[in-house]
Structure 1
Amino acid sequence: MLSPMLASLLPVVLLWRLSLGQYSSDQCSWKGSGLTHEGHTRDVEQVYLRCSQGSLEWLYPTGAIIVNLRPNTLSPASARLSVCIKPSADSRGTNVYLDRNGRLRLLLREQDQALGKVQCFGITEGALFIEAVPHRDISRRITAFRYELLSERLGPDALSPTAPCKPCSDAEILLAACTSDFVARGSIRTVEREAERTSVAVDISRLYRQKTQVFAPGGVRVRRWTGSINMPLQCAAKAGEGDFLFTGLVRFGEAWMGCAPRYKDFLRLYEEARQQGSNPCQVDTD
């Protein structure tokens, strides 16, 4: 059920004041204060963000803001991008909707933001309409989240705890070794099932690539790394079963498992593809 504020918005969108308050923005991140709306609780601020990832922080929210998320460069592939947002643990004070040509769809309630669950949607589904929830005391209300744009190939389901677990094909394994956010050879130390994910602690003997530092150095004399990789709950994993080639995505600073063949199987696939000249890239397997 729409709030009274939103109910009045739909038939009379033009009655809102589109204001240009004093806010901090650098094309990737935005920070503002609802105190600039004081006395104008029906003001709507337009925000434009033009990066693949960034953040938003709205202090003392009043009125509403519309957040337009777009990539830096537009191309036919841009329409196939997905957007994922992750609220901070202390985010509150607003409801978040998707606004497409004046039609609003609830994405995130105020009381759900503290859970920190990632919410994803197609970039063509609309802009974010963030509406302040009326409170007598707004001094402790801050809405904050991080966002990332994902390509169609990666997809928003990569972060879903209910994402299906299916074996990667030979072609997918070879492509993952070339295009993943992280590629590492190592073993599984422990497996822990959490409330909404399976967390796999790994020991890395060779680190080919990592987009951000999800694996930390684990020794001075011997070059080894340690870290953890997330998987959907229903994915099976066991500790102490030999070496794997771990590949996957980094989302909001966390590693998520993609293809993870046994290392000996990857070597066989890689050598066969090398002889056929069909490898998508070169990997140093020595």
Structure 2
Amino acid sequence: MSLGREIWSRRSVPPLLLLLLLPPCAADYCSWKGSGLSWEPHSRAVEQVHLRCTEGFLEWMYPARALRVILEPNLSSARPTTVCIKPSSNFQGANIYVERDGQLHLLVSEAEEPRLHHVSCFSTTTPQRVALFLQASPQRDISRKTASFQYELLSNQSVTGPDFQKMALVEAMCRPCDNMELLMAICSSDFVVRGSIQNVTHDSENHMSRVEVGVQRVYRQKNRIFQQDKATGEWRGPIKTLLQCKVKKGPRDFLFTGNEHFGEAWLGCAPRFKDFSAVYQKARERGANPCEFQLDG
């Protein structure tokens, strides 16, 4: 599928590695904005950017020569990690490569049509330090172009979000969660809301479905995905999932859980609320609930 696909095109290493590396430039540790116009016209140096968070963005205006981006988040774990890159809809002026074993592999190409720029993911066994290269395309003029993208580092144990490279993850997203997964979902998910499915729209090209949820109660949300309509007073919000899951509109009362990736909510466990209530109450009676959850109110 196109979302989360790995776009590897083995190329000979561009002459970036032969260029002089400048010292790291200033950054806010999560995101960076800069312009190629500020560089010396005849310099062949590669500017370096260090980003130390598990998510953020980069915006490179008027791309010139090359930019080396080091992702080195402060992670205590050395477990393999998936890195996902989401180019902006107007990504122009550069190609993005990832360094592996001393070679550069094409990850995002400027030659692609903007509408085809999907999330691209790759796995790494060294999550503490991942090197990306942005190589500017030759320009005949100084017309404004911007090469910008968002990035996220995901645990390979996650089954939600745009990392759908493995079929096992696809199957895991669509199958019902077992009781332990339900109990853990309310503790660890980015969002937990109670509501019903008001509408579903399908995107066959990207193999996704957009689920519009009418919300009765927001128990938790990381960002403001679910908001109150000022005119009606109703709470609602969109959740994405895979087309293969065949989600349908209906009045049933569900508990929706999941995680946010690149500002979008992705569906995790979504049991009927009455089924979840029974599971949680039994677990609480045994003292087996991993966290407290307020069922009423």
Q: TM-score, structure 1 length as denominator?
A: 0.87
Task: Flag the structure with higher helix content.
Answer: 1
Alignment of 1:63 onto 2:65: yes
Quote the residue 2:47 is aligned against.
45
Quote the residue 1:33 is aligned against.
35
Q: Deviations over 1:111-170 (max 9, x none)?
A: 337234111223438411111111212422210011122233326764549833222111
Quote the residue 1:190 is aligned against.
199
Which amino acid in structure 1 is aligned with residue 42 of structure 2? G
Alignment of 1:172 onto 2:174: no
Alignment of 1:153 onto 2:157: yes
* Unaligned ranges ≥5, structure 2: 1-8
Quote the residue 1:247 is aligned against.
257
Q: CA RMSD in A?
A: 2.5
Quote the residue 1:268 is aligned against.
278
Quote the residue 1:86 is aligned against.
86
Matches for 1:9-24 after TM superposition, within 5 Å: 9=16, 13=17, 15-20=18-23
- Distance in 1 (CA, whole Å) between partners of 2:250 and 2:40 is 58
- Distance in 2 (CA, whole Å) between partners of 1:269 and 1:158 is 29
**1:181/1:209 contact within 8 Å kept:** yes
Quote the residue 1:141 is aligned against.
145
Quote the residue 1:284 is aligned against.
294
Structure 1 residues 148 and 239: alpha-carbon distance in aligned structure 2, compared to 1, 3 A threshold: same
Q: Once structures 1 and 2 are overlaid, which stretch shifts more, 259-268 or 114-123?
A: 114-123
Quote the residue 2:134 is aligned against.
130
Q: TM-score, structure 2 length as denominator?
A: 0.84
**2:160/2:268 contact within 8 Å kept:** no
Which amino acid in structure 2 is aligned with residue 239 of structure 1? K
Quote the residue 1:212 is aligned against.
223
- Distance in 1 (CA, whole Å) between partners of 2:184 and 2:10 is 45
* Unaligned ranges ≥5, structure 1: none
In the TM superposition, residue 219 of structure 1 has moved relative to its aligned partner by: 5.9
Q: Deviations over 1:38-58 (max 9, x none)?
A: 212x32122100112211111
Matched residue pairs, number?
276
- Distance in 2 (CA, whole Å) between partners of 1:97 and 1:39 is 23
Identity value in percent: 46
Which amino acid in structure 1 is aligned with residue 257 of structure 2? T
Quote the residue 1:201 is aligned against.
212
